[in-house]
Structure 1
Amino acid sequence: MKSILIFLSLSILVSGEIDKVFHYQPEQVHLSFGDLPNEIVVTWSTQDDPKESIVEFGEESLEQISKSKPIKFVDGGNEKSTQYIHKVTLSNLKPSTRYIYHCGSSLGWSAEFWFVTQPKGTEWSPRLAIFGDMGNENPQSLARLQQDTQRGLYDAIIHVGDFAYDMDSENARVGDEFMRQIESVAAYLPYMVCAGNHEEKYNFSNYRSRFSMPGGTENLMYSFNMGPVHFIGFSTELYYYLNYGIKPLVNQYYWLEKDLEIANQPKNRALRPWIITFGHRPMYCSNDNGDDCSKHNTVVRKGLPLLGSFGLEDLFYKYGVDVMLWAHEHSYERLWPIYDYKMFNGTIEDPYKNPGAPIHLVTGSAGCKEGREPFDKIIPEWSAFHSRDYGYTRMTAYNTTHLYFEQVSDDKNGSIIDSFWINKQKHGSYL
């Protein structure tokens, strides 16, 4: 009997140690751009606190080390869903270089991943995959995005809001599952994001904590450069969840104005002539679901009159934003160049040649448990193309004068159902 008790005690001790190691194991690894062009931020989670956050990396071997400290995250004040999030910045990286890396601590390490840094300067052609509204259930586009990533088709990803459905669900276990699912994409490419309505719970706490966008604004608004493009991410949700106060909305508006003013300065616009914004809820759509973009005036487009407007369409038009990327509607739609419901086609033969107004793309069809969105029976004349197919958008910024977009259909086994070029010889304000 004594030997049996000793065996059981040892089993419990060993079992406890194994459990402890398991909880220190890194998971949900993903990348993002840092504040500087030669920086990459590695983010991951552990269930317990290993007291250190380490990334070992290098070109041929893991000879370089960067460190930080873990941050405790408690979802919605529920101690049962506590985890530790690790954010480590890799600095002074060489351009156009493939690095291998793994992350963790002395108590547990991730698998080995890799990434490729941006070329130096602006004279190269960034390639991106763009989509929104992808859940951990029914993520139709994920498998193809995983294949594309391993084949080296992209330099970055932009996820235009709505993750997991929802990251806070089941004491944040749904968020954990989603972040594990996208690791096979996001551990190899900068995974750039903006907040959607499904991130709202507990003042966007899961979204703020799990991602690591540049700029120190808790991922709500930020910008980054890739080749000839200046990208700006922002939160449309600040217009809809005023229970968290109006100060974040006002701060974002003035932040956007300042960022656009700098980007539109002649020397900067000559260097990076393309300005592309991305936010979750669109200004325009032709969906037949009673949603806000199906109405004539949306608060994102026209602002809130009681607050003195702060609408974004006039601001983006003033500073010559070329393309606005949206999601929220579970469909794909491309608009003709438009401002204030007026079309500004470049020429009859080529509407996207020097178009004279921004071009809107709604790409929210990557797949989630809520399914697809219907369209109006009569499509407005400003809608150039629409589809209910599951899928995602690819973009290539070929140079300072040409952008190329194509829509991949998951329903049609990866076929391209829409494609177009933007040919713009003149850059700057439309005014």
Structure 2
Amino acid sequence: MKHCIILLLMIGVSTCKNIYPRDVNYQPDQVHISFGDKTNDIVATWSTFNDTASMVLYGVDSPERQAEGASVLFVDGGKAKRRQWIHRATMRDLNFDTRYVYQVGSEDGWSRQFSFKTPPAGEDWVVRIAIYGDMGLNGSMSLPFLKRDVEQGKYDLILHVGDFAYDMNEQEGRVGDDFMNLLQPLAAAVPYMTCPGNHESAYNFSHYSSRFTMPGPESNLYYSFDVGPIHFVSISTEVYYFTEYGIKLMVEQYEWLKRDLTVANMDINRRKRPWIILFGHRPMYCSNSDDIDCSVEYTRTGFLGLFGMEPLLKEFGVDLVVWAHEHSYERTWPLYDSVVYNGSYAAPYVNPRAPVHLVTGSAGCREGRDHFRRNPFKWSAFHSQDYGYTKFKAFNKTHINIEQISVDLGGQVIDEFWLVKNKELSFNQL
């Protein structure tokens, strides 16, 4: 302490604060935001390494308003039982289509000032999203490109489709801390929506469940939310694989998903939000050569033949299904039960007769790229091993544009297609 006081006199408080061990630091760490129960409710989440109050200061021109939140003690499952407090505070009923500035913390220490823009109201606006999975602390090849895009205001939200940090629990949780700070330029500026992957399984997915705040009253392992003309559904594919944590959760998710899709598919809701998009980590379909997950896919076929999700995609007319897990990119033709159901020979994605599947797990991690079979399946429309990420734009209730960006090629678009739905369709005839 004596050395710190001497250093304080010489070079100031902030430098002195930085030489304290991290686990006695009151400063906010790992700041990120997500949607609350509505798109104009924004939840700020952050960590401190000592217990302190949870407050967010926010406003349009300056942070003059205050919202109080709460914190939960999170203890890593490793030998050191390393502790941190994870704070949450919600900025409620914000003006739509408005830029806000905010900072989080307490009188013991405040973060720097961040900003975000709320989405427009209603359903009739262009929704812009970056989508990817499998981004690690090391080898995060897409991150510089995503940072540039976020700085230029190109996205209304981000979907991270599982597998974070590689792995958040490593080094007694320090890898998770460093990764969340690495994400902060993205996740503190744009609502960061997630689902769990297999790399989050340690200690019963406790790092994922504790670090991220997703909307709805259910487990944050599965939830749904509405943005513009889209109903998004996030699921955990991992409940089919880590059954030591309980088959009960798999059954609960399946029953919840059926209820959620039933409501989303009601005429009054489907007219408002005609697009239903589901995302989860492990794909139902892929043509990679180095993984058996897509050959024995429990999310599709179910556990012991029960609770398979693919029939629900058909029953409720899910338009697009987004996956990751494979460290590559792949687009399918409209597909159900391994059979192609194109809208027409000339325009396969115009009024398609089955869901389209997209695998986008090439954001970059220490495990490298995944390779493809020499002879891809007939339902595979395009695939690439390039590192990259997906740009998604829902222009309106009838047209969605999707591009795959290759960071190997400096940000070049290597795949693009339009998903068009300009008449009422039912997949129940399959």
Q: Give me the TM-score of the superposition, normalised by structure 1.
A: 0.94
| Residue in structure 1 matched with residue 12 of structure 2 by the alignment | none
In structure 2, distance between residues paired with 1:388 and 1:54: 44
| Residue in structure 1 matched with residue 396 of structure 2 by the alignment | 399
1:291, CA displacement in angstroms? 2.3
In structure 1, distance between residues paired with 2:103 and 2:4: 35
Deviations along 1:152-197, whole A, 9 cap, x unmatched? 0000000000000000000000000100000000000000000000
| Residue in structure 1 matched with residue 164 of structure 2 by the alignment | 163
1:259, CA displacement in angstroms? 0.4
1:219, CA displacement in angstroms? 1.4
Instruction: Describe how 1:289-328 pairs up with structure 2 within 5 A.
Output: 289-293=290-294, 295=295, 297-305=296-304, 309-328=306-325
1:378 and 2:375 are equivalent in the alignment: yes
Deviations along 1:366-406, whole A, 9 cap, x unmatched? 00000000100011111000000000000000001000000
Deviations along 1:221-266, whole A, 9 cap, x unmatched? 1111111000000100000000011100000000000000000000
1:16, CA displacement in angstroms? 8.6
1:409 and 2:402 are equivalent in the alignment: no
| Residue in structure 2 matched with residue 44 of structure 1 by the alignment | 46
| Residue in structure 2 matched with residue 389 of structure 1 by the alignment | 386
Structure 1 contact 319–428 (Cα < 8 Å) conserved:
no
Deviations along 1:55-112, whole A, 9 cap, x unmatched? 0000011111001222110011645420110011110101111000000000111110
Q: In 2 relative to 1, CA 27–8 (structure 1 residues): closer, same or farther, beyond 3 Å?
A: closer
Code of the residue aligned with 1:101 in structure 2: it is Y
In structure 1, distance between residues paired with 2:17 and 2:339: 66
Structure 1 contact 329–362 (Cα < 8 Å) conserved:
yes
Secondary structure of 2:217's partner?
coil
In structure 2, distance between residues paired with 1:281 and 1:43: 26
Code of the residue aligned with 1:387 in structure 2: it is S
Structure 1 contact 269–427 (Cα < 8 Å) conserved:
no
1:267, CA displacement in angstroms? 0.6
| Residue in structure 1 matched with residue 119 of structure 2 by the alignment | 118
Structure 1 contact 32–191 (Cα < 8 Å) conserved:
yes
In structure 2, distance between residues paired with 1:16 and 1:362: 44
Structure 2's unaligned 5+ residue stretches are 10-15
1:216, CA displacement in angstroms? 3.1
Q: In 2 relative to 1, CA 26–119 (structure 1 residues): closer, same or farther, beyond 3 Å?
A: same
Q: In 2 relative to 1, CA 423–80 (structure 1 residues): closer, same or farther, beyond 3 Å?
A: same
Which residue among 368, 371, 381 is the counterpart of 2:365? Answer: 368
Structure 1 contact 113–187 (Cα < 8 Å) conserved:
yes
1:422, CA displacement in angstroms? 0.7
In structure 1, distance between residues paired with 2:40 and 2:4: 52
Secondary structure of 1:119's partner?
coil
In structure 2, distance between residues paired with 1:318 and 1:179: 38
Code of the residue aligned with 2:26 in structure 1: it is Y
| Residue in structure 2 matched with residue 35 of structure 1 by the alignment | 37
1:27, CA displacement in angstroms? 1.2
Structure 1 contact 274–427 (Cα < 8 Å) conserved:
no
Q: Percent identity?
A: 52
Secondary structure of 1:284's partner?
coil
Code of the residue aligned with 1:275 in structure 2: it is I
Structure 2 contact 331–359 (Cα < 8 Å) conserved:
yes
| Residue in structure 2 matched with residue 247 of structure 1 by the alignment | 248
Structure 1 contact 273–428 (Cα < 8 Å) conserved:
no
Code of the residue aligned with 2:134 in structure 1: it is D
Secondary structure of 1:30's partner?
strand
In structure 2, distance between residues paired with 1:128 and 1:256: 23
Q: In 2 relative to 1, CA 87–353 (structure 1 residues): closer, same or farther, beyond 3 Å?
A: same
Q: In 2 relative to 1, CA 149–261 (structure 1 residues): closer, same or farther, beyond 3 Å?
A: same
Instruction: Describe how 1:164-313 pairs up with structure 2 within 5 A.
Output: 164-293=165-294, 295=295, 297-305=296-304, 309-313=306-310
1:9, CA displacement in angstroms? 9.8
Secondary structure of 1:309's partner?
coil
Which residue among 324, 339, 343 is the counterpart of 1:346? Answer: 343
Secondary structure of 2:77's partner?
helix
In structure 2, distance between residues paired with 1:173 and 1:254: 36
In structure 2, distance between residues paired with 1:206 and 1:415: 34
Structure 1 contact 320–427 (Cα < 8 Å) conserved:
no
1:11, CA displacement in angstroms? 5.0
Structure 2 contact 80–172 (Cα < 8 Å) conserved:
no
Q: In 2 relative to 1, CA 20–383 (structure 1 residues): closer, same or farther, beyond 3 Å?
A: closer
In structure 2, distance between residues paired with 1:9 and 1:202: 37
1:199, CA displacement in angstroms? 0.1
Q: In 2 relative to 1, CA 359–24 (structure 1 residues): closer, same or farther, beyond 3 Å?
A: same
Structure 1 contact 337–356 (Cα < 8 Å) conserved:
yes
Secondary structure of 2:20's partner?
helix
Structure 1 contact 273–427 (Cα < 8 Å) conserved:
no
Code of the residue aligned with 1:302 in structure 2: it is T
In structure 2, distance between residues paired with 1:252 and 1:120: 30
Instruction: Describe how 1:45-60 pairs up with structure 2 within 5 A.
Output: 45-50=47-52, 52-60=53-61
Code of the residue aligned with 1:408 in structure 2: it is I
Q: Calculate the aligned-residue CA RMSD, in Å.
A: 1.9
Secondary structure of 2:363's partner?
coil
Structure 1 contact 288–376 (Cα < 8 Å) conserved:
yes
Code of the residue aligned with 1:143 in structure 2: it is P
Secondary structure of 1:232's partner?
strand
Structure 1 contact 72–85 (Cα < 8 Å) conserved:
yes
In structure 2, distance between residues paired with 1:425 and 1:256: 26
